[in-house]
Every structure is written in structure tokens, then in C-alpha cells.
Amino acid sequence: MLSENQQSPLVLVVDDDVFMRGMLQNLLEEQGYRVTEAQNGVNALEEFQHCSPDLVLMDAAMPVMDGFMACAQLKKLETGADIPVIMITALDDEQSVNRAFEAGATEYITKPVHWSVLRHRVEIILHARQAAAALEASEARFRGIFEQAAMGIALVTMTGQLIQSNPAAKKMLGIEAVDLRGKLFNKFFYPYDTAVEKEFYQQLLAGERDYYQMEKYFFRKNTPILWARLTTSLVREADNTPQFIIQMIEDITERKRAQAKQRLAAKVFETTSDGIMITNAESHIIDVNQAFLALTGYSYEEVLDKNPRILQSGHHDRVFYEEMWAATRETGRWRGEIWNQRKNGEIYSSWMSMSAVRGEHNEVTHYVAVYSDLSALKQDDQRLRLLTHYDSLTELPNRLLFYEYLTRACRQEERLALLYLDLDDFKQINEDFGFDVGDDFIKLIAHRLQQCVREGDTISRLEGDEFGIILSPIHQDYDVRIIVEKIIASISEPALINGQLPQIDCNVGISFYPDDQMASQHESVEILIQHADMAMYLAKEAGINTYHIYSESIEEEEG
């Protein structure tokens, strides 16, 4: 079926018999084909190069150059290799038939020509050529999309081996194509084979979903942790049998980092001891934190949409405020001591830092003011240090101080071991025994850890159920194994707390410093932490109360 703007196929008729040429031309034109003619093989080659037909009807026995030679020469042309040739001849012997197909003919029809046969052969051959051209164009489009796509694409067998991956996927993983082919795709991303993913995969196989998405982390050599969103879909055979899996790999590292920064900013906003006030460009308050409300005595509703002048104490004249706002608009910031008034009328001194926030076109969109109560700073200094650097429940160093200790330890140029310890399903203890027992149990765990390590080693509570331990210096790796086994045995012992007997299991990941993979000292700390975290994950995969020591082969394991 031709489209409105598509020309009908052009057929080149080659025969030394003018009557035969005329008959074929009339019959073909009646079917809507365009026709051009040649009287021998030499003319046929000239006409072919001039008009580029879609099909050639070629007589075999002709003067100057016969059809067999003309067909063979035509097939040698760059534009002639894919053009179908139907030999139409009175020669019906086996040798002639063989010569025709050896020369590159697509079909062989003997004279006298049965028009209905020729008509169907022409139609079938042209349709087949059009379908092949459409398929070739489709494959070229797919190949272009596959090769040029910014997103990683991988084709995976039903058993998980990589069949093919595009340049974006190879670049993302930092691995050459020869290193990817045949490897297990899911081993490049962590965590793999989780219960949720297994459930999604079974739903995909059952046809209950068209695709599913998972966010996972992965590594490139000598780089911090990276994140990807994997979109998994299925290609099926005509009988609905699964054929292979398509994995779309999107690098979401920057988005993850931005989200982490946003969460951190929100956490800082709500937990900092300094009062924070945000206004729009018209100086109307749009948000404040809890510290601001505690400092001023106002409620959130009482300050929302108000002008900050509600805080003025009368201590400063109009010129003070004009200069403060002028400096903020011109330089983007102002810092200084300011006297404000609380809701109850009490006047107090604050150190205020105000900054202007600008938009894409350098216009001021917001103002942010941070207030530090000068009268409370000295007495709160020690308390702030404790809150900033130590866990309030166990009084162990927190993640911030732990990172500082680890950085210092790496500078000593002595061998050390980093342990990442994770308590298995700690939330179940809170659910079964209550949060008071859970808190006391965490304190007991911290005490047991202190009894297991040496003097000078560092223990930190990183998160609710996760601890970090720095063993330094290390003279023999065997010593680390002894300490870790002692830790696992101690933690897994049941504990009597308030008449309850909670018990928990744990897993430990271990990495050592220095390591040949670590380039700079800053990278060493980051990669050391990543290695311990990965080793802890692999320990959890192995079962409860186990530990795993990181080695470079983890990232290069088969699959």
C-alpha cells in the first residue's frame, strides 16, 4: 500500500524483442508500476545506473551482452547488489537455470510468460524488498538510539548474563565491553537479589507488571559510591515466552547527593541551636525553625507572614536598620550584634548573620537570618560540643567525630582496621520490649564493645543500630580476627534488662588501611569506609553473626 506522496516501484524491462518489451510494459503499467526499458545487457547496465530501478526483468539470450553476463555485472555495482532480478527467457534447460542463479538472479520464469504468475512474483518480490528495507531502517534507528543514548542500556539473558551493553553503560561502570560480556548483570549493583526485587521479578514474569524500578549503588575504581536507577522490562517471543531482559541504567548520583544535602539542610535547620528566619524578597517571614521560636517566645503562626520589625527593641535607631539592609543588598550579607525583644518584652543581645539569596537572574529572592543568643553562648559551648560530636544515648563519638578520628588515624601511617558493625533487626527489640529497654540495650552493647577492644581503639555509634570501630595500630591481621570474634560472641549473649531478656545477632565488615587501591589520603578515608560497608553487606548475605574482610576481588568477582 503506497502512501499519498510515495512513488510506485520502477521496473527495468530488458529484452531484445521490441514486442516482448512492449507487452511487459503495458502489463506492468496496468498494475500501477513505472517502467523503463533496455534492449540488451550493455544498455541495461547504463539505464540501471541512470534510473536506479526497484526491480529488473531480464531476458537471457540477447546480442552484445546476454542476460547472464548483464545480471552478474549489475550485482557488482554498489547500488545493484540488493536489487532483485527476474530472468525471463525461453531457455528452460537446467544449465541455464543454474547460470541465472549463479549470476545473482532472484527468480527464473520461462517463456511463454503466464502473466498471472509474473504479476504475483513481481508483487511478492517487491513487497519483500520493501519489508527488508523497512526492517533495515528500523534496525538502523534502533542501533542509533542504542549507541547514542545518554542512559545506559543492557540486554540480559533470562539467566542473568550480559548479552550486550551500549557505550553509556560501559562508561558508567568504567569497564570495557570485553570485560562485561557474559558476566552476571546484577553483581554490578548493590544490594542484589533482595526480597522486594525477587517479588517484582516474579510479577514481571507473570505479566502482572510491565516493568519495575530499583535504586541501587555501584562502584567505579577509585571513586566514591555511585547511585543508579534500574528500570527492568521483559522482551517476549510471539508465543509470550520470555526472550531476554532490558535493563535501563540511569545515573542518579547527583540527584542522590542533592537529596542528601536537602535532608541534611532540613535536619540542620530544625536541630541547630541557632534561631533561623527566612523571608521573601519583600521581607515577609515565610519560615522559622524551632530554635527561633524558643529564642523569641513567639509561636509559628504568630510570626508567619509578619515583618521582622516585630522583633525590634527600640535599642537601635532608623539609620542602623537602613545601613544593615543597604549592606545586605549591596554585598549579599551583614553580620553584627543586634538587640531584639522577645514576645514577653524581654530585651536580649544576639549575633545576627543575614544573607541575601539570589535567583537565576541575580535577583534577590529570599533573605536568611541566623541568630545566636550571645548571653547563652558561653554556658552552652560545652553542651554544644557534646551534642555535635557525641551520641547522647551512649556518649560514644558520633559519625562526625568518628570521621575526624579516622582521618587522624590514617595520617599516622600505621596499619589500622576499620570495623562496621550492624545489629540485626534491632527494631524488633523496640517492638517486643519497648523503647526504654531498647535504649538500655544499646547502652549495654556500647559497654560490651568497650570491653572487647584495646585501650586506644575508638568506638562510635554511627546510626541507631550501626557502630564503627577503629583498631589502631595493627601489627598482625590475625589480631583483628580475634577481636571481631570476641565482639560477635559478646553481643550475641542475651542480656537481662528490667526483667526482660533481649538477644540480638550482628554482622561485621572489615577493611584495612593502607591499601594499594587508595590514591590520596582524603580518598583513602572515603574508600576505607565504603569497603567496610560493602564487607558488612556481604557478611549479612553470608548469615547471622558473621564477619567479612574486604578484598579487591569483591569488585572483580565472577559475574
CATH class of the domain whose range is 274-377: alpha beta
Q: Is 240 left (phi over 0), alpha (psi -120 to 50) or beta?
A: left
Q: Give bridge partners of residue 115 from the DSSP assignment.
A: none
Q: Which residues contact 134 (CB under 8 A, 6 or more apart)?
A: none
CATH class of the domain whose range is 390-554: alpha beta
Longest dimension (CA), the chain: 118
User: What CATH number belongs to 10-143?
Assistant: 3.40.50.2300
Query: What architecture (CATH level 2) is domain 149-256?
Result: 2-Layer Sandwich (3.30)
* pTM of the predicted protein model: 0.42
Q: Which residues contact 374 (CB under 8 A, 6 or more apart)?
A: 337, 349, 350, 351
Q: What are phi and psi of 371, to 5 degrees?
A: -110, 125
pLDDT (tens, 9 = 90+) of the chain, 559 residues, equals 444 456 889 999 999 988 888 889 998 998 899 999 999 989 999 999 999 899 999 998 888 899 999 999 998 988 888 899 999 888 888 898 899 999 999 889 888 888 888 888 898 888 888 887 777 777 777 776 777 777 888 888 998 888 888 888 888 887 775 566 678 888 888 887 788 888 999 999 998 999 999 888 888 777 778 888 899 999 998 888 899 999 888 888 888 888 888 877 777 787 788 899 999 989 899 999 898 999 999 999 999 999 999 999 999 998 999 899 888 888 888 998 899 999 999 988 888 999 998 888 888 889 999 998 776 655 566 566 667 788 888 989 998 899 989 998 888 878 999 999 999 988 888 888 888 888 999 999 999 999 999 988 999 999 888 999 999 899 888 999 999 999 999 999 988 888 888 889 999 999 998 875 554 555 678 889 999 999 999 999 999 999 999 986 655 443 2
Between helices 399-411 and 374-389, what is the axis angle to 10°? 70
Where does the chain hold its CATH 3.30.450.20 domain(s)? 149-256, 274-377
Compute CA 42 distance to the chain's CA centroid, rounded to the nearest angstrom: 61
Where does the chain hold its CATH 3.30.70.270 domain(s)? 390-554
Where helices occur in 390-520 by DSSP H, the ranges are: 399-411, 427-433, 435-452, 477-491
